[in-house]
Structure 1
Amino acid sequence: MTTIEVKAPVLHTVDQALSVAARVATEIVAGAVQREIDGVLPTEQLRAVAASGLLGIIVPAEHGGPDLPPSTAVEVLRILSRADSAVGQLLLAHFVINAAIRGLGQIDPAPRIYADVLAGAQVGNATVERGTRLSVDRLTTVAHRPEGGWVLNGTKYYATGALGATWIAVAARISGTEPASGATVFVRADDPGVALNLEKWSSFGQRGTASGEVIFDNVVVDDAQVIDEGPDPDQVTADASVLGAFDQALHAAVDIGIARAALEDGAQFVGTRSRPWFEAQVDSAAEEPHVVRRFGELTARLFALEALLAHGAHLVDKALAEPQLTRESAGAASLQVAAAKALAQEFAVEIASGVFELAGASATDRSDALDRHWRNVRVHSLHDPARWKYVHLGNFTLRGTLPPRLGVLL
């Protein structure tokens, strides 16, 4: 699927967006277990999200959008990830790229892309490549054509969000520049020379994201769709930004949504199907004191994660609402989000694994697919290392050092 042909409504308020997200989540959670068992990609579920108007919630007002705050997108993604974490992660890049387009200013492709998004189009990413020294290195090139325009060549992997996308944002380097200039290149998924080999994704978790390979073979691109970003900015002296914090909040939302799904599904299993241990002398596993206590511990962890995430997303909103974004306000948002993201990587995995100890051996039956929560959060939590979040938090506490400008994107 490369395009989504819908006419989506505009969701003008936060309450409206969250209400619609809850309704759509109810729809997409139905069949989630069977999709996991059968290996069916959530293409119909992406269409449902597109038709709901949720994809357009952060489109700027000057482009006809409702201009809802970033925290709304974070909460929407958490709600959807609780229902189907593949859907949540597939839409993560969409919201980040929408925010990035805004941050680039009055760029030529913005009106066209935003108009498509408001109509229900999804934007995907093609950022990371295999075979590079660092995950941020770019081998994909975009070069001037003698007859005008540009030509794009390269191979991307981990192309999450390309499934279902109308537009794909490609990270490239401009040929012949020294120091190397980076560029974001916007192509349509059905452009000649664009090949989606998404089935190459073979991870044991987040299977439904189809985060495989995208090949760009002499893709001709108009001048308006190539954004020259110049050399990589200095992480200390560059202008303040909360794009990285927004991106990381969305990633945390996926993990935390999975954690809630694991806890609630595990509790339902224990309450309806698990047998109590004979020494407990109770009628239900849900009455065993040790089970009750452990569920309480896991619930406390989940509540803490959700509160941290909400506060971090609020600080992103607050920083952007200032007349002038400062490194201090951006840093405050980044640090809070870093704490949420780092703890989510630990606690969400603990929750998704811990419910099996409480539910018992029968909970491992493949027909229930309860293991999907652990597999999904284990894989997604590896996106970027929590250890560096703790380094930045520690540096701030010990020396008042603000975190890097951009964080880790996509």
Structure 2
Amino acid sequence: MAEVHEANEANASQASGVHQHAARVIADDAEAIAVAHELAVRLARDAAQRDRERRLPHEEIEWFSQSGLWAITVPKAYGGAGVSFVTLTEVIKIVAAADPSLGQLPQNHFGLVDVISLTGTEEQKRYFFAQIVSGKRFGNGFSEKGTKHVLDLKTRVRRDGDDYVVDGTKFYSTGALFAHFVPVLGLDDERKGWLAYIPKGTPGLNVIDDWSGFGQRTTASGTVVLEGVRVPASHVFPAHRVSDFPTLNGPVSQIIQAAIDAGIAQAAVNDTLTFVRTRSRPWIDSNVERAGDDPLTVREIGHLHIQLHAAEALLERAARTLDAIAAKGDTSEDDVALASVAVGEAKVLTTEIALLASEKLFELAGTQSTLSEHNLDRHWRNARTHTLHDPVRWKYHLVGNYYLNGVKPARHAWN
């Protein structure tokens, strides 16, 4: 199944003709929501087939970035829409409901845009924000396999004259195969984190399509190998500052994760309703003609919607918390703790409803829903895979420890 990125470059270039035109520039929150709804209709049409065939969405991701949605968090002063976190989470939720693999692809991109805002020089901001507004995409090279924990990194970033040199191997590199820049996280000799935004095609950068997860199958979240990759200093950012100092980067990363799970849940609920209405049979003891009139099915549908709406309410509440803190300007340790807890609460419920809805689908829709022709198991596979990014059991601990003992969550990308 593994294919090196050169083999995929041809496919990508065939689909990238749209890049001959300037990407749409979205002006405000309302336009962002409207564009997301329009795009979701296109993305949903062949989502099940793409998953079944593991057909990578080279053409679809071009539609996505050319729509302007990848630039909506660029500040207005630099040509972006500077949308609210409420809008950002809604956009991600809408796209993820159509195709959660595509919904996940810009997840790290938005976090990396935030890193530029927080740590970049004025020159770096002008350059990279212009790139994003023009339709360029960031992938990622963060996590590694075989280490003690997610922050135990072997990748090294060292200064060499006017450049930095990066060496290492990454995995779970969502979006890297489709990216114009692959930002890679590595440590210097003092074990401080640096992010090198490496342009596609840089010598020594090799992106390998070896993602074999049973869910989120078309994210191509495989391996990135870096061998003596030289990067100009203008493309390197002091990533350690987003955790050394109180910033919202961690909560921002996490709320996007939660929005993806909410989208997966919505898709599962939608398909449950459709199947029950059009294909399912009522149980013999219900004494009704339609599955939709089966009182126990009706009860379970009600329960799913209550859980989904509760998750969405906490997601919006968390987004409004981030917006209120961001509007203040100066972010304190207490602000970051409050944001992390609010997002953690939302992430618990979005995780639980994504798993519940994607499993209940089969119970309520019946045996016919398990047929491979419907490919409805993709909802559970996607939910189970994506919700493993960080353990929700630790979100319960984070929230409880804050309220009971006043302990602020650790500052990193998973809080």
TM-score with structure 1 setting the length? 0.93
* Cα shift at 1:252: 0.5
Equivalent runs, 1:135-154 vs 2, <5 Å: 135-145=150-160, 148-154=162-168
Give the secondary structure class of the aligned counterpart of 1:216: strand
Give the secondary structure class of the aligned counterpart of 1:183: strand
Counterpart Cα distance in 1 of 2:232 and 2:201: 15
Counterpart Cα distance in 2 of 1:358 and 1:274: 8
Corresponding residue number in structure 2 for 1:239: 245
Give the secondary structure class of the aligned counterpart of 1:391: helix
Residues 232, 109 of structure 1: alpha-carbon distance in 2 compared, 3 angstrom cutoff: closer
Asked if residue 156 in structure 1 is aligned to residue 166 in structure 2, the reply is no
Selected match of 2:192 from 170, 173, 181: 181
Asked if residue 250 in structure 1 is aligned to residue 260 in structure 2, the reply is no
Asked if residue 208 in structure 1 is aligned to residue 218 in structure 2, the reply is yes
Corresponding residue number in structure 2 for 1:273: 279
Corresponding residue number in structure 1 for 2:50: 35
Corresponding residue number in structure 1 for 2:128: 113
Counterpart Cα distance in 2 of 1:385 and 1:107: 37
Please list the CA deviations of residues 288-343 of structure 1 after superposition, one character each: whole Å capped at 9, or x if unmatched. Answer: 00000001101110000111101101111110000322222322221111011122
Corresponding residue number in structure 2 for 1:286: 292
Asked if residue 97 in structure 1 is aligned to residue 107 in structure 2, the reply is no
Corresponding residue number in structure 2 for 1:328: 334
Selected match of 2:316 from 303, 310, 314: 310
Asked if residue 348 in structure 1 is aligned to residue 354 in structure 2, the reply is yes
Counterpart Cα distance in 2 of 1:232 and 1:308: 25
Counterpart Cα distance in 2 of 1:258 and 1:278: 31
Counterpart Cα distance in 2 of 1:395 and 1:124: 34
Selected match of 1:379 from 385, 402, 405: 385
Q: Is the 8 A contact 1:172 1:183 kept in 2?
A: yes
RMSD in angstroms over aligned alpha carbons? 1.7
Letter of the aligned partner of 2:208 in structure 1? N
Asked if residue 390 in structure 1 is aligned to residue 396 in structure 2, the reply is yes
Letter of the aligned partner of 1:181 in structure 2? K
Letter of the aligned partner of 1:374 in structure 2? W
Q: Is the 8 A contact 2:181 2:199 kept in 1?
A: yes
Q: Is the 8 A contact 2:119 2:242 kept in 1?
A: no
Residues 142, 125 of structure 1: alpha-carbon distance in 2 compared, 3 angstrom cutoff: same
Counterpart Cα distance in 2 of 1:295 and 1:349: 15
Residues 393, 230 of structure 1: alpha-carbon distance in 2 compared, 3 angstrom cutoff: closer
Letter of the aligned partner of 1:383 in structure 2? H
Corresponding residue number in structure 1 for 2:6: none
Corresponding residue number in structure 2 for 1:295: 301
Q: Is the 8 A contact 2:120 2:237 kept in 1?
A: no
Give the secondary structure class of the aligned counterpart of 2:167: strand
Counterpart Cα distance in 1 of 2:241 and 2:30: 41
Residues 394, 408 of structure 1: alpha-carbon distance in 2 compared, 3 angstrom cutoff: same
Counterpart Cα distance in 2 of 1:124 and 1:203: 18
Counterpart Cα distance in 2 of 1:145 and 1:45: 39
Selected match of 1:133 from 124, 132, 148: 148
* Cα shift at 1:33: 1.2
Counterpart Cα distance in 1 of 2:126 and 2:171: 28
Residues 222, 358 of structure 1: alpha-carbon distance in 2 compared, 3 angstrom cutoff: same
Give the secondary structure class of the aligned counterpart of 1:133: coil
* Cα shift at 1:108: 4.6
Residues 222, 91 of structure 1: alpha-carbon distance in 2 compared, 3 angstrom cutoff: same
Corresponding residue number in structure 2 for 1:65: 80
Q: Is the 8 A contact 1:96 1:247 kept in 2?
A: yes
* Moved >6 Å (runs of 4+): none
Letter of the aligned partner of 2:199 in structure 1? R
Corresponding residue number in structure 1 for 2:201: 190
Please list the CA deviations of residues 99-131 of structure 1 after superposition, one character each: whole Å capped at 9, or x if unmatched. Answer: 111011426533222111101111111000112
List gaps (5 residues or longer) in structure 1. Answer: none
Letter of the aligned partner of 1:311 in structure 2? R
Residues 359, 232 of structure 1: alpha-carbon distance in 2 compared, 3 angstrom cutoff: closer
* Cα shift at 1:71: 2.6
Residues 210, 64 of structure 1: alpha-carbon distance in 2 compared, 3 angstrom cutoff: same
Letter of the aligned partner of 2:170 in structure 1? K
Q: Is the 8 A contact 2:370 2:376 kept in 1?
A: yes
Give the secondary structure class of the aligned counterpart of 1:353: helix
* Cα shift at 1:166: 0.5
Counterpart Cα distance in 1 of 2:126 and 2:389: 31
Counterpart Cα distance in 1 of 2:242 and 2:187: 11
Corresponding residue number in structure 1 for 2:185: 171
Identical pairs, percent: 36
Give the secondary structure class of the aligned counterpart of 1:207: coil
* Cα shift at 1:353: 0.2
Q: Is the 8 A contact 1:90 1:163 kept in 2?
A: no
Counterpart Cα distance in 1 of 2:122 and 2:166: 19
Letter of the aligned partner of 1:79 in structure 2? I
TM-score with structure 2 setting the length? 0.92
Q: Is the 8 A contact 1:75 1:253 kept in 2?
A: yes
Asked if residue 365 in structure 1 is aligned to residue 371 in structure 2, the reply is yes
